[in-house]
Structure 1
Amino acid sequence: MPITEHTIADPSGGPYAVTVTAGAIWTTLVDTGQIAKLERGGDPATTEAACGERFELGAPGSRPSVIVPGPDDAVWFTRNGDDHLGRIGFDGAVSAVALAGAPYGLCVGPDGALWCTLMNVDQLGRVTVDGEVSTYAIGTSGAFPAMITATDDELWFTLNQGNAIGRMSTTGDVTTYPLRTGGAGPVGISSGPQGVWFVEILADQAGRITPDGKIEEFALPAGSMPHAVVATDDGGCWMTLWAAAALARLDANGNIIAQFNLGEGSEPHGLAVDTDGSVWVALEKGSLAHVTT
């Protein structure tokens, strides 16, 4: 698998999360309050010119974090530094919706709205494309909800300090599933065909939970500190191993079948699987890595 790097920013404002749309690759620059856009078919050289466009949010301390394609010809992203959800239309228009509680994880729900975790208030937030805001309590105090994903009819999310996986209907009914491993620190989560994958950054484990609540945990290399995960159609997943500066591929049985070194000090965080099966990884050192099949 060849790996190509596209320089986006200097290490002081490096990429944190990444997502793909039909026309471009988008990444959040968490420390500088910007969104960068890499045009498809551009120069693959590792230069600043690889970044096609940069969007200023008018709020340097906004800390844009997780970014996803919206249902409305736009990308949406959380701004946990100033309590907003941000939006950039494919026409370049930048806007935001206020949402208190330090929004962090983000997904498009089964109802077509944007759903996010509100880390500081133990809630999930729901925002329609028209800007209508609702919030729902997760029922656990001090749980620090982190990432979130959607299935066909529900939301699933990690409780980083609650050491559990949460599940919520679109009407706010909540079920919580404690993890067997204590102090696991679950972060990334992604729904797949055989269940919902998640990673435990403090336990060096991956996990999967089925719709009936059965949890399996799979050991990863010691000290690797997995951060983000994306489920794949074959029942496996891709994940970033933050402390190991690597990208790993797991099969449907939880076995590591491939691992790719992204370079010392790369600090891989978010990742996205493209339509051709290749993987984009946000490296906080200042670049996007493109791992092609």
Structure 2
Amino acid sequence: MEFTEVPVGESGCGPYGVAAGPDGEIWCTEVHHGRVGRLDPGGGYRGFQVGPADAKPTVIITGPDEAMWFTQYQGNRIGRIGPDGAVSGFGVPEANPYGLAIGPDSALWFTAMNTGQIGRITTDGTITAFDLPDPGGFPSLITAGPDGALWFTLNQANAIGRITVEGSLNTFPLPTPGAAPVGIAADRDSLWFVEIGAGQVGRITPEGDITEHPLPDRTARPHAITAAPDGCCYFTEWATGRVGRIDRAGAIDSYALPKPGSEPHGITLALDGTLWTALESGYLAWAKP
């Protein structure tokens, strides 16, 4: 699998999160410039200022209303940008929101790293917060699971968390100490996550059974992960500038990005099956699996 890079934004903008929009466009966050950018199918790129330069927009997704929603980690906001570039948002004071996902209830669920909470926000801005057992657990990324609950990583608590739409919570400690999970994605019957501290990819069933798969290079610092329709998952290797692939049996492959030092973060599959990743070095990269 070979990747092609597309330069985006201004120098130092730091592409971080990436998501496929509803009309074939690719969106990304520019974490260092306080912007969100849109790459059109024809290759044109446009950036939109969504807050102060230090707001640190991070994760971006397509929302239940087909607008793009994103977290502003430093700006303490959940933002929304429409197809016309109109920006709005809702404040979440002191939360440092990071992960973001659509729940089975059609609300947006987010992680609040600083306050140790899981948040729920409706498209009209109604917010509910759920306290986690460990306020210092550093909830990171979040996804809707195959069981109708939301699943999330607890980076500093070294665990995977689960919350129902009613707010019932469970946590599952990881076998490897200091694994520091970050990215998480759901397939048809389980959750896959990456351990940035241990250099492993893990799988957890809805019942809480955990399997861990060491990467060939344990220093790769895997960061984000996305599930493909064929049952495999793709993940970014932040430290090594590569993208990895793992199948359901645990077999792992790794693919180099065009330039060293690219620092891949977010990763997603577009509607046409193209794999996209955001490179903090200033590019979006794509490949056909």
TM range (shorter): over 0.9
Deviation at 1:258, TM superposition (A): 4.6
Partner residue, 2:192: 197
Per-residue CA distance 1:18-43 (angstroms, 9 max, x = gap): 0001231000001110001100123x
SS state at 1:275 partner: coil
* Residue correspondences, number: 285
Contact 1:119–1:146, Cα closer than 8 Å, also in 2: yes
The residue that corresponds to 1:123 in the other structure is 117
Identity fraction in percent: 46
8 A contact 1:185–1:201 mirrored in 2: yes
CA distance in 1, matches of 2:170, 2:11: 40
The match for 2:33 is 32
Q: Deviations over 1:194-213 (max 9, x none)?
A: 31000000100000000111
CA drift of 1:88 comes to: 0.2
2:222 and 2:133 map into 1 onto residues whose CA distance is 26
8 Å CA contact 2:4, 2:258 repeated in 1 = no
Write the mapping of 1:1-293 to structure 2, written as runs, cut at 5 A.
1-21=1-21, 22-42=23-43, 50-51=44-45, 53-100=46-93, 101-152=95-146, 153-220=148-215, 221-293=217-289
8 Å Cα contact 1:15-1:283 kept in structure 2: yes
RMSD after superposition: 1.3
Give the secondary-structure state (helix, strand or coil) at the position aligned to 1:13.
coil
Match for residue 46 of structure 1?
none
TM-aligned CA distance change 1:190 to 1:200, over 3 Å:
same
Unaligned runs of 5+ in 1: 43-49
State which drifts further: 1-10 or 194-203.
1-10
Contact 2:172 2:208 in 1 (8 A): yes
Gaps spanning 5+ residues in structure 2: where?
none
The whole-number CA distance in structure 2 between the counterparts of 1:103 and 1:126 is 11
Moved more, 274-283 or 166-175: 274-283
TM-score by length of 2: 0.95
Query: Secondary structure of the equivalent of 2:12?
Result: helix
Contact residue 34 and residue 60 of structure 1 kept, 8 A? yes
CA contact (8 A) 2:145 2:190 kept: no
2: distance between equivalents of 1:194 and 1:11? 41
Greater Cα shift, 210-219 or 88-97: 88-97
* Cα pair distance change 1:262/1:187, threshold 3 Å: farther
**Partner amino acid for 1:197?**
W
Change (3 A) 1:168 1:262: farther
Tell me which amino acid in the other structure corresponds to 2:171: T
Q: In structure 2, the residue corresponding to 1:194 is in which secondary structure? A: coil
